[in-house]
Each structure stands twice: as structure tokens, then as C-alpha cells.
Structure 1
Amino acid sequence: MIAQVNRVAFEVFGLEIYWYAIIIVSGIGIALWLASREAVRVGLKEDDMTNYLIWALPIAIIGARLYYILFDLGPYLADPSQIFNIRSGGLAVYGGLIAAVIVLYFYTKYHFIDPWLFLDVCSPGVILAQGMGRWGNFMNHEAYGGETTRSFLEGLHIPQFIIDNMYIDGAYRQPTFLYESLWCLLGFVLLLVLRKKTTIFKQGEIFLSYVGWYSFARFFIEGMRTDSLYLFGSLRVSQVLSLVLFAGALIIVFLRRRKQPAVPTYLRTQGSDQYIV
């Protein structure tokens, strides 16, 4: 008998608390902790990260929901009350990230903080949180790929409980949540390791590397999923956006290095020839 996970972790006074929510909140908490530690190391205030999150988190949730609804209008026009029913799913990662970056622009402008440096500080924690968040999709039995066989899944040498829970709607499915989660985890490790090399990244390039790294894999993984949002026909929204972001990140790095050679490296202190160690 196949053991299926229960997406409900526990109940509080009759209110069901989902694993998805616990995992997402945990990811955000870890990302905040990482960013706060790094902020102090590069000369920012630890409170800057917390204060930013207070504004960014609710707006990012709204952005993630609006993005999803915009590209899947039909069901919400038929039943507008479902617009607010986020407990049943319907949050798009890209929508949340776009909203968070918009908030970051205004926050850093108001507080006279270099937005590129702020983005660099946040990026490793964000990609880690994204990788964790995909396990929330696993608990909800969502964000999976097309049909496959049990023997294929066993050939991946993944844990048995993942294989069992990839049996969805009468067939085994590609664990696209796992592919993206592992890619994000690898990206997190690489960013942490490489940003200690003071001569590799200029300010802003940790963030741009994160954008390029994530969007590259998301393009291919999105093509495997069965729950994509579409622009029209078979053109998937996230694949188009991934192409734009990947190309944009490369172009910005090239142009900044060519036209703005004076941009300081990530760990160089302002107005100094010394590096933060």
C-alpha cells in the first residue's frame, strides 16, 4: 500500500495548519536570519532586513496571488470569492519576487541604501527559501510533472516516501518539485562559497547570478510541469519570463562591467581600499 503524506500538519481550535505554511514560514525565517547576519558584515544594519520584510512580505503575497490570477482569469471571473482563497493554492513564485523587488527599490531609496548591495545580501537566503518552499508543494501534491513510471523514479535513487507520493491521479509523476529544490540548494551553496572570494563579484552580481541561475533551470523544469500558466496556446508564462530574466541578467553584467568599471567589488567597504573580512 502506498503511503501518502497528509498536507495538514495539525489543528488549532479546529483550524487546519498546513505543512505548506509551516515550510514557507520556516524558509522566510531562515532567509531573514542569513540576510541579517550578512548585512552587519557588509556595513548595513541588521534591522534593515527585518524592517524591509515587514513591508515586503504581505506585498509579495499579494503580488504572487495577482500574478497567478492574471494568467488564469477564467475560474476567478466565474467565482470572484475564490480570489481570496489562497489556502487552496495559487501563489506564483515569480509574482512574489517581482513584488518584493519593487518594494526593495522604494525601501532602499527611502533609507539611502545601495539597492544592488541590498539585493546581494538577500539573494542566497531567497534561493534557499525557494528550495525549501518546493517541499511545501510536495506536501500539497502539486507542482509535479508529467506521467512516468515507478521504475524510472527508483532509478533516480530518491527516498521511497518521495516515490510513493509521486503517485498522483492514478499515475506516477515527474518530481519536478525535487529537481527545482535541489537546483536551488546547489545555487545557495555556490553563492555562499563564491561571495567569499572578494575579487569575483562586483556589487549587484550576486543577485544577478541568482537570477541567471534560477531562471536557467526554471525554464526547463517549467516545461515538464502539468500545472503551468499560459500566455496563449502552448506558450508558458514562466518559460517566457525565465528567458527574459536569464538574458537580462547576462546583459546587465556585461554592460555594467564595460561601462561602469568603477563599480566596487561586493566586499569592498565604501570609500576604502580595504576589504571586509
Structure 2
Amino acid sequence: MDVFTPALLTQTALAFPDIDPVLIQIGPVAIRWYSLGYIVGIVIGWVLARRMVHNERLWGGPAPIQPVDIDDFLLWATIGIIAGGRIGYVLFYDLGTFLAEPLRIFTVWQGGMSFHGGLIGTTLAMLFFARSRGIDPWRLFDVIAAVAPIGIGLVRIANFINAELYGRPSDVGWAMVFPTDPERLPRHPSQLYEAFLEGLVLFILLWVAVHIWLKLRNPRFVTGLFVGGYGAARTFVEFFREPDPQLGFLLGTEWLTMGMVLSIPMALLGLALVLSARPAKPVPAATDETK
């Protein structure tokens, strides 16, 4: 009977693509695929969000959000994503290291961002922004949730290019040896699993909910679908993703990870939001007195 050894597995693994994590280097300034993923995701999301609030068919009448609101929220969203993502990583994944060296918190270019932290940061930004504009927060949540998978998918592809957040050892035919892996074992390309499920599949599902099911008319349905869909997809992928080395598996198990602990409640919350969503009263069209 054939026995797979690390050496044999390495011989049968797919070659990792040689893609420079730095797209363009101009003197000391480097543009990385990772940062580009965030930038392109935010810009495309902004364009699509503006189109949604322009389309009265999606809302059953005038949208409760104006295009200028989407424009103005762009800066708020960027701050929420970056600040929340970094603080979330510090708190959820490596608090001890940052307590020992507090200044490392600001070295974002060295990596270390948490999706769950970014989600919390963006949620707080939406709450404060909606309150300042007199907007129902759920309507803003729904618009941003519908476009969020674009950035998520692009950043996961950038994680793959950076050869970070790779999967567990495996003998599947598409396993890869990542150059950053000290053990040099064939592993699941779990970043691509996440890009597919959390990015492409979730975006398509939300697009159908918005444009075919017309669920923007039901406040918090789209938000719930995003939160629950991401939570379910991330929990599934965690069975293939290598846990962070400073944490490992939790509670003495060989399967429970911090990603699961943070994502399972998301799946349950998302389900509750979807089931509780109800149609909203259409926004009345502007008249000469209200224009």
C-alpha cells in the first residue's frame, strides 16, 4: 500500500505561482497587491452602491439614501475598515505580542488585519454616519453589505499572492507548497476557497437578493444574508485553513479555531435578521413643497 510521505507529497503538489507581492516599486514607495485589493474593492463598491440608490425599482420608490450620502460615507468606510481591521487583529489574534511592543500596532504594512474587526469598525462608522444624516441605519447597512464581498474576495486573492493564511496539510490534487511555510508541506490553498465562497458566491447571492428578489425593500434582509452567508462560509473554510500559530486550536480540540468562534455567531445573527425582515413603507416622492 502506498504511503504518502512529506517528500512524496511535495513532489505531487502544484507549483505555487511566482507572483511578486509588490505590484509597483517607485523608490521607497511600494504598491502591493494587498493594499490594491482594499482600494479597488472600496472603489468598485462605491460605484455599485451609487447605482443601487439611483435605481428606484430596487426600493419600490425613491431610495431612502442619496448618492451624495454614499460619496460622503466613502472616507468613513475606509477609516472603519482599516482601524477596525487592525484593532480587531490585535485584540482577537495577537494581544500578547502587541502589549509587549505597543508601537507594532501602527506597523500595518507588516500585515495583520482581521475581517471581523473591520466589520465592527465599518458597522460603527455606518451607525455614526447614519445618525448624522438622519438615515435609517438598516438601509445603509443593506447597501454596504450588498457590495462588501467584492473587497473581501480581492483581499483573499491578495492573501494568496502573499502566501499567507494558507491551509492545513493535504494530499488533494491541487495542494500547494507555500514559500512562506517553514514545514514546506503541500497545503490547501484556503485563501482561494475564501475568495470563491466569501467573495464570488456571496456577491452573486446578494446580487440576486437585491436585483431579482428586490430585498432592499425589506430592511435588514440583505444585511442578514451577508452576515449569515459570510459566517457560514468562513466557518466551513476554517476546517481547511491553518489556525494562527500563536493561537492554534482552542479548548484542547483539534478543530476549533478563533475564526470559528467569531463566525458561528455571525451565521446565527444573520439567520435571525433574515427571518425578522419585513417590508418597509416606501419613501414618498419629493413634491414642490419638500424639494
- The TM-score range, normalised by the shorter chain, is 0.7 to 0.9
Counterpart-to-counterpart distance in 2, 1:200 and 1:97:
21
1:30-179 equivalences in 2 (<5 Å): 30-42=44-56, 43=63, 44-71=65-92, 72-149=94-171, 152-153=173-174, 163=176, 168-169=181-182, 170-179=184-193
What is the match of residue 197 of structure 1? 212
Distance 1:24 1:164 in 2: 26
Confirm or deny: 8 A CA contact 1:166 1:174 kept in the other structure: no
Structure 1 residue 107: Cα displacement: 0.9
Alpha carbons of structure 1 residues 199 and 188: separation in structure 2 relative to 1, 3 Å: closer
- Answer yes or no: is 1:245 the counterpart of 2:245: no
8 Å CA contact retained: 2:234, 2:259: yes
CA distance in 2 between counterparts of 1:3 and 1:100 reads 33
Task: Provide TM-score, normalisation by structure 1.
Answer: 0.83
1:215 matched to which residue of 2? 231
Could you tell me which residue of structure 2 aligns to residue 160 of structure 1? none
1:173-197 deviations in whole A, cap 9, x for unaligned?
1111111111120111121123223
Aligned length: 255
Whichever of the two has the greater Rg, that structure is 2
Are the equivalent residues in 2 in contact too, given 1:3–1:165 (CA < 8 A)?
no
| Stretch of structure 1 that moved more, 181-190 or 69-78 | 69-78
Instruction: Report SS of the residue matched to 1:11.
Output: strand
Structure 2: any 5+ residue segments left out of the alignment? 1-14, 57-62, 286-291
Q: CA RMSD in A?
A: 2.5
**CA 1:166–1:69: 2 relative to 1, 3 Å:** same
Q: 1:192 to 1:253 in 2, by over 3 A?
A: closer
User: What TM-score do you get using the length of structure 2 for normalisation?
Assistant: 0.79
Percent identity of equivalent pairs: 29
Query: Which runs of no fewer than 5 residues in structure 1 stay unpaired?
Result: 155-162, 273-277
Give the whole-Å Cα distance in 1 for the aligned partners of 2:33 and 2:145.
24
The equivalent residue for 1:236 is 257
CA deviations over 1:91-137 (Å, ceiling 9, x no partner): 00110011101110121112111211212212221012111110110
Ranges of 4+ aligned residues in structure 1 off by more than 6 Å: none
- Specify the SS of the correspondent of 2:186: strand
Name the SS for the 2:124 alignment partner: helix
